[in-house]
A and B are shown apart, each in its own frame.
Chain A
Amino acid sequence: MKYVLLFVETEEFAAELEAMGPAERARAFGRVDEWFAAHAGKVTGGQKLRDPGTATTVRLEGGEPVVVDGPFVEGKEVVSGYAEIDVADLDEALRMVRTWPGCPVVEIRPVETGPLE
C-alpha cells in the first residue's frame, strides 16, 4: 500500500534545531539522511518544505478566493516535509516511522489508489 508520511515540526523542535552548533546540526541531518538511505527501497518520493513563514493559503469556500499569508492552520505544529512510501501494510509503515530521527510528530496517511476504494 502507498502512504504519505507527513513530517510535523513543533516549536520546541524548531528551537532545539536553532540552538544547535553547526557540527551538531550536521549530525542531526546526517541521521535523517541515514534513515532515508536505510529505507531507500520503500521511499518513492518526498521533499523537505520551506518554513511555514513562506506559506500562502488560498480559501475558496466563499465567493471570491481569499489569499492569506501563512499555513492553513495556525498552530504550534506545522508540516515541514513529506515522504511517499510503498509498503505492505500499516504495520510496516509504523515500523519505519518508529525509527524516524527527525521531527517529533509524523502522520501516516494512506494514498487513495482507485475510484473503488
Chain B
Amino acid sequence: MTSSPYGTAESHDRLARVVREHAGRLAASLIQVTGDFSTAEDLVQDAVLVALKRWPQEGVPERPDAWLFTVARRRGLDLLRRQENYRRKLAQLRWPDEGEASEPDERLRLIFTCCHPALTQEAQIALTLRMVCGLTTAQIARAFLVRESTVAQRITRAKQKITRAGIPYRVPDDEELGGRLSQVLAVIYLLFNEGYLSTAGQAQSHDLADDAEWLAALLHRLMPTEPEAAGLLALIRLHRARTAARFTPEGTLVRLAEQNRSLWDHEAIAAAAALLTRAIRRRRPGPYQLQAAIVACHAEAVRWEDTDWEQIVLLYDMLLHLAPSPVTRLHRTIALRYTEGPRAALAEVEGLAPELDGYYLFHATRADLLRALDRPDEARQADRLALDLTTNPAERALLQERATS
C-alpha cells in the first residue's frame, strides 16, 4: 500500500498495528495444524521479525495476513523437516483468499491458553503480547523496562510449561469460565495500567494502553454476551478518551480536578458509556462494569464541581462488596472526602495504614487530606513518603512539586 520509509516511532507503531491484526489469527491457525503451541509461536515470531525488517523498505503488502502466512509456512517446512506429519499438514494448509469465508476466529482459545492460571502472571502477559498481539521480544522488553533475555526466558519457560504440563488449547467450560475469564481480564487491565501510567516521556516505548484496548475490543467481539468483557472495554475507553488532558505539553501529570475538560473526547466518552449501559442491562454486575461506572461518573461531569460523589461512593460500596481490596477502599476515601468531609475521609485512610503503608498513593491521599485540614507540615511529610515510594516519572514530578512547595 504505502512505501514511505518507516523511520519514526510513530510509523513503527503503525507497523505493529498491522502485525497485531494478523499475528494472532496466524498463530491460532498454526496451532490448529501442528497441534504444537511452541512451534506455532516460533513460526509467527520469525515471520513478524522478517516483516518488521522488510516492510519499512518494501512497503506493507496488500495482504499482510497472506504475506505473514507464506513466510511462516516456508520457515515451518524448513523447521519441521524431521517431523514429517506436521510438515505434511503444514504443506497442505492454504491461507484463505480475501472475501473467502474464513475459519472461525480461534483467537479466543489462544487468549485463554496464554492466560492459563498454571502460568505466572508475568508469563501470561508476555505470552499474550507475543501470541495474540504479535509483539517481538524486544518490544515487550522495552515496554516493561526489563532485559530482552529476561522476556525471552519467561516466554521459553511458559511455552515449555504449556507443552510439558499438558495445558490444553481450549476455551474453558461454562463452570470454569467465570474464574478463567477474570484472569484474562486481569491481564488486559494490567497491561492497560502499565501503558497508561507511563505515557509521558516514553515515546520509544510500545503503546501498551493501545494493545490493551485492542485486546479488550477483541475479547468483547469474541464474547459479546459477557458483560465484564464489555465493562473492561468501556473502562479502558473512558480512561483513554481523557488522555489529551492528562499531561501538560511538558509531560507533567495534570490531576483530574485541574484537567481541561474541553480536551476530552466527548464522543468517545458517550460511546463508551453507551457500551457500558448495554452491558449493565444484562444484570450480571462485576468489578469492571462497576469501575467503568465510576469512571463514567467523572467523565460525564461537565465540571469538577458537578461530580456526583454520592453516586461514586455508592458504586465503590458495591465494588467492595464484590471484590474487597484495601486499594479500592483507599480510592473510596477520595470520594468520601466530598460527601462526608476530609476529617471522616482521613480517619478511613488512617485505618488502612497496616495494609497500605508501602503504597505511594496511600501517602499522597493522606497528604491531600491533611492539607485540606490545614495541617501543612504533616502533609509535606506524607508527600515525601509518597515520593520515595513511586518510580513513575510523571507522578514523581507532581509529588516533588508539592513536597517542596
Docked-complex contact A90 and B167, CB < 8 angstroms: yes
Q: Which residues, 112 to 159 on B, are CB-close (under 8 Å) to A?
A: 116, 118
Given pairs A1-B166, A91-B172, A110-B166, 19 additional interface contacts (CB within 8 A): A3-B166, A88-B168, A89-B166, A89-B167, A89-B168, A90-B118, A90-B165, A90-B167, A90-B168, A91-B167, A91-B170, A91-B176, A93-B166, A94-B118, A95-B176, A108-B165, A110-B164, A110-B165, A117-B164
Docked-complex contact A90 and B166, CB < 8 angstroms: yes
Q: Which residues, 69 to 96 on A, are CB-close (under 8 Å) to B?
A: 88-91, 93-95
Nearest Cβ on chain A to B287's Cβ, whole angstroms? 22
Q: With the chains together, A1 CA to B167 CA distance in Å?
A: 10
Q: Which residues, 156 to 199 on B, are CB-close (under 8 Å) to A?
A: 164-168, 170, 172, 176
Q: With the chains together, A89 CA to B162 CA distance in Å?
A: 10
Cβ contacts under 8 Å, B165 to chain A:
90, 108, 110
Cβ contacts under 8 Å, B166 to chain A:
1, 3, 89-90, 93, 110
For residue A112, which residue of chain B has the nearest CB?
B164
Q: With the chains together, A88 CA to B172 CA distance in Å?
A: 14
Q: With the chains together, A108 CA to B164 CA distance in Å?
A: 12
Cβ contacts under 8 Å, A91 to chain B:
167-168, 170, 172, 176
Partner-A contacts on B (CB < 8 A): 116, 118, 164-168, 170, 172, 176
Q: With the chains together, A117 CA to B165 CA distance in Å?
A: 11
Cβ contacts under 8 Å, A95 to chain B:
176
Contact string against B for A residues 93-105, beta-carbon threshold 8 Å, 1 for contact and 0 otherwise: 1110000000000
Partner-B contacts on A (CB < 8 A): 1, 3, 88-91, 93-95, 108, 110, 117
Q: With the chains together, A3 CA to B118 CA distance in Å?
A: 14
Cβ contacts under 8 Å, B116 to chain A:
90
For residue A92, which residue of chain B has the nearest CB?
B168
5 contacts between A and B (CB under 8 A): A88-B168, A90-B118, A91-B170, A108-B165, A110-B164
Nearest Cβ on chain A to B31's Cβ, whole angstroms? 14
Nearest Cβ on chain B to A93's Cβ, whole angstroms? 8
Cβ contacts under 8 Å, A90 to chain B:
116, 118, 165-168
6 A-B pairs closest in CB distance = A89-B168, A1-B166, A89-B166, A90-B166, A90-B167, A91-B168
Q: With the chains together, A47 CA to B118 CA distance in Å?
A: 25
Nearest Cβ on chain A to B114's Cβ, whole angstroms? 14
Q: With the chains together, A93 CA to B118 CA distance in Å?
A: 12
Cβ contacts under 8 Å, B170 to chain A:
91
For residue B180, which residue of chain A has the nearest CB?
A91
Q: With the chains together, A87 CA to B116 CA distance in Å?
A: 18
Nearest Cβ on chain B to A99's Cβ, whole angstroms? 12
Cβ contacts under 8 Å, B118 to chain A:
90, 94
Nearest Cβ on chain B to A88's Cβ, whole angstroms? 7
Q: With the chains together, A93 CA to B176 CA distance in Å?
A: 13
Nearest Cβ on chain A to B66's Cβ, whole angstroms? 33
Q: With the chains together, A93 CA to B165 CA distance in Å?
A: 11
Looking at A89, A91, A95, which has the most chain B CB atoms within 10 Å of its CB? A91
Q: With the chains together, A28 CA to B167 CA distance in Å?
A: 31
Nearest Cβ on chain B to A85's Cβ, whole angstroms? 11
Nearest Cβ on chain A to B119's Cβ, whole angstroms? 11
Cβ contacts under 8 Å, B168 to chain A:
88-91
Nearest Cβ on chain B to A34's Cβ, whole angstroms? 20
Nearest Cβ on chain B to A117's Cβ, whole angstroms? 7
Cβ contacts under 8 Å, B167 to chain A:
89-91
Q: With the chains together, A67 CA to B170 CA distance in Å?
A: 47
Nearest Cβ on chain A to B124's Cβ, whole angstroms? 15
Nearest Cβ on chain B to A81's Cβ, whole angstroms? 21
Q: With the chains together, A95 CA to B172 CA distance in Å?
A: 11
Cβ contacts under 8 Å, A108 to chain B:
165
For residue A109, which residue of chain B has the nearest CB?
B165
Q: With the chains together, A117 CA to B164 CA distance in Å?
A: 7
Nearest Cβ on chain B to A45's Cβ, whole angstroms? 18
Q: With the chains together, A73 CA to B183 CA distance in Å?
A: 32
Q: With the chains together, A32 CA to B167 CA distance in Å?
A: 26
Q: With the chains together, A112 CA to B109 CA distance in Å?
A: 26
Nearest Cβ on chain B to A106's Cβ, whole angstroms? 13
Cβ contacts under 8 Å, A1 to chain B:
166
Cβ contacts under 8 Å, B164 to chain A:
110, 117
Nearest Cβ on chain B to A69's Cβ, whole angstroms? 34
Cβ contacts under 8 Å, A110 to chain B:
164-166
Looking at A89, A93, A117, which has the most chain B CB atoms within 10 Å of its CB? A89
Looking at B116, B166, B170, which has the most chain A CB atoms within 10 Å of its CB? B166
Nearest Cβ on chain B to A111's Cβ, whole angstroms? 10
